[in-house]
Amino acid sequence: MDVVNLIQENPIAFWGGLGVLLLVVEVFTLTSVALVLGSGALTVSAIIFLAGLPESVVMQFVAFTAISLIEYWPMKIAMENAKKNWPKTTGDIEDQIADAPAGTVKENGYVLLDRAFLGDREWSYDTDDELSVGDRVSIKEIGGNKLRIIKKENV
């Protein structure tokens, strides 16, 4: 049995099954492509079930393509907006260091940052500079779980 005959004999089951299969694939891939295509297939299945349209296999594929494209654009815009609002991660380390807060040297080899940096305000540190408690410092780099800091001049 070829696919065209399968679609003609039971289009609701074909499009519904394809939609569910694509949604299951989305669970494992997390690409959002399978989500859009799966919801497009489920929408075509619902249209066929509720309205009985379209009867032609070609029109069903046209409807599937059109619905998937229409659903793709809002999904793309939502994903781009979400990316703008995602917190930076350690993968963007150069950007993180450029935006890192200054800090003040505390006792016992710790620095207290003006605001949280990578989830914490208090960090242990390494430095080549001569530092005293209360000195203002900035972050030069990160090495493991320690900050590499330098003394701020003109403070």
pLDDT of 84-130, one tens digit each? 776 555 556 777 777 788 899 998 789 999 998 888 899 999 888 88
Length of the chain as a residue count: 155
* CATH 2.40.50.140 domain locations along the chain: 91-151
Task: Return the beta strands (E) in 95-145 as ranges.
Answer: 103-105, 110-117, 120-126, 136-143
Name which of 65, 19, 37 is nearest 57 in CA terms: 65
Architecture of domain 91-151: Beta Barrel (2.40)
What is the per-residue pLDDT for 117?
Answer: 84
What is the per-residue pLDDT for 37?
Answer: 94
**Tokens at 65, concatenated:** 């393509």
**Tokens at 112, concatenated:** 């207290």
Burial class of residue 27, CB neighbours in 10 A (0-12, 13-18, 19+): exposed
Q: pLDDT (tens digit, 9 = 90+) per residue, 132-142?
A: 899 999 988 88
Residues 6+ apart with CB under 8 A from 111: 103, 104, 105, 122, 123, 124, 125, 137, 147, 149
**Tokens at 117, concatenated:** 């940096």
Query: CB–CB of 38/22 below 8 Å?
Result: yes
- Dist. CA 7–CA 14, nearest whole Å: 6
What is the per-residue pLDDT for 122?
Answer: 92
